[in-house]
Amino acid sequence: MLTIKNLSKQYNNGVHALDDINLTIGKGMFGLLGPNGAGKSSLMRTLATLQLPDSGSITFDGIDVLTQPNKIKQVLGYLPQDFGVYPRVSAYELLDYLAIMKGLTNPKVRKEQVLALLQQTNLYEHRHNYVANFSGGMKRRFGIAQSLLADPKLIMVDEPTAGLDPEERNRFYNLLSEVGKNIILILSTHIIEDIQDLCTDMAIINRGQVLKQGSPKALMAELQGQVWCKQSGNLNLKQLAAQHQILSTKSNGAQKAVHVHSQHQPDSDFTLVEPSLEDAYFKALNSEKAISSASNNQE
Ligand SMILES: Nc1ncnc2c1ncn2[C@@H]1O[C@H](COP(=O)(O)OP(=O)(O)OP(=O)(O)O)[C@@H](O)[C@H]1O
């Protein structure tokens, strides 16, 4: 169990990247969903002990993460958004080197684990090629291989599918879901479908705050009977927005489809639809905006 309590971090430029974060995360894949700048990477870096918060606590299986960083590093795998690789090092050499850094000092055990991970991530046949020359997808898979060294109990993967083609993305996610069965795997992303397809639990965060936590199913179920859709070639969005909370609009050729949140059918042109995770996400972000603009108006 990973428990995060009252975690806050303000950068020198005044940005509150983490603003009293509270989360309890159990085994399985946990999705951290939020727009650009929400604080996802700041949270990941803090959990990986690469930066300190101003206040709050993090515990993982009895380890106080902030005061015992060396202990957590022994059970942690981390794939940051960007990771640099040396220009002329093969996948095998680099993984072997990183394995030594992770404390795998026995050469036989290390070799077995490095080769097994190269197999698992489908990089075995490329093991003698330079990692710097790998495609984006291969680099990401290599990143997962390094994060799995020394059997971690907690893995964090920060926006891993940026720039991957659909096939590589699928392959990468199959790998993650296999890996994430028996440990805690935290996946940070702004891609809603990825969370819906993969995660058993999730949090929506924005401006450093947790807006919602629960299973994707539970977050969608909360909106049951409250999401209405209208399709038209002639939607007056301004007028609609004045009366209802618009969740999303999508163009479909000349037609536009709008989803609104309402306890009642807005008018006879609207049909009730099954809430999607996208609806739940925009509902959480919109509610937050409404609260912050109401409090700004009061000030
Ligand atoms: N080192 C830093 N110094 C100052 N401000 C920072 C620093 N790192 C992040 N920020 C700011 O903190 C906020 C949260 O950034 P963070 O990178 O954690 O968000 P994110 O959810 O990971 O965003 P993205 O999806 O764009 O990567 C942003 O406003 C960002 O500009």
Which is nearest to 73 in space by CA: 50, 40, 97, 105?
Answer: 50
Contact 255, 209 (CB under 8 A): no
Residue nearest atom 16 of ligand 1, based on CA coordinates: 39
Residue 8 and residue 84 in one domain: yes
Q: Which of 164, 183, 215 is the last residue of a domain?
A: 215
Ligand 1 neighbour 42 (Cβ under 6 A)? yes
Atom of ligand 1 at shortest range from CA of 190: 25
Torsion, CA 263, CA 264, CA 266, CA 268, rounded to 10: 150
Domain span at 274 = 221-298
Residue 205 and residue 242 in one domain: no
Give the pLDDT score at 194. Answer: 85
Residue 115 and residue 258 in one domain: no
Residue 129 and residue 23 in one domain: yes
Four-residue CA torsion sign, 119, 122, 123, 124:
positive
Residue 91 and residue 210 in one domain: yes
Give the pLDDT score at 199. Answer: 93
Residue 97 and residue 31 in one domain: yes
Where the chain has pLDDT below 70, the residues are 288-299
Give the pLDDT score at 178. Answer: 84
Q: Which of 215, 246, 264 is the last residue of a domain?
A: 215
Give the pLDDT score at 292. Answer: 60
**DSSP assignment of the chain, as one string?**
-EEEEEEEEE-TTS-EEEEEEEEEE-SEEEEEE--TTSSHHHHHHHHTTSS--SEEEEEETTEETTT-HHHHHHTEEEE-S-----TT-BHHHHHHHHHHHTT---HHHHHHHHHHHHHHTT-GGGTTSBGGGS-HHHHHHHHHHHHTTT--SEEEEESTTTT--HHHHHHHHHHHHHHTTSSEEEEEES-HHHHHHH-SEEEEEETTEEEEEE-HHHHHHTTTT-EEEEEESS--HHHHHHHSEEEEEEEETTEEEEEEE-SS-SSTT-EE----HHHHHHHHHHHHHHHHHHHHHH-
Residue 151 and residue 253 in one domain: no
Residue 228 and residue 197 in one domain: no
Give the pLDDT score at 135. Answer: 87
pTM for the predicted model, two decimal places: 0.88
Q: Which of 174, 193, 215 is the last residue of a domain?
A: 215
Residue 249 and residue 140 in one domain: no
Residue 97 and residue 157 in one domain: yes
Ligand 1 neighbour 239 (Cβ under 6 A)? no
Which is nearest to 247 in space by CA: 284, 295, 296, 199?
Answer: 284
Residue nearest atom 23 of ligand 1, based on CA coordinates: 37
Give the pLDDT score at 244. Answer: 86
Give the pLDDT score at 298. Answer: 52
Domain count along the chain? 2
Ligand 1 neighbour 37 (Cβ under 6 A)? yes
Residue 177 and residue 269 in one domain: no
Please report the ipTM that was assigned to this predicted complex. 0.97
Residue 144 and residue 232 in one domain: no
CATH of the domain at 144: 3.40.50.300
Give the pLDDT score at 99. Answer: 92
CA of 6 to the centre of ligand 1 (A): 19
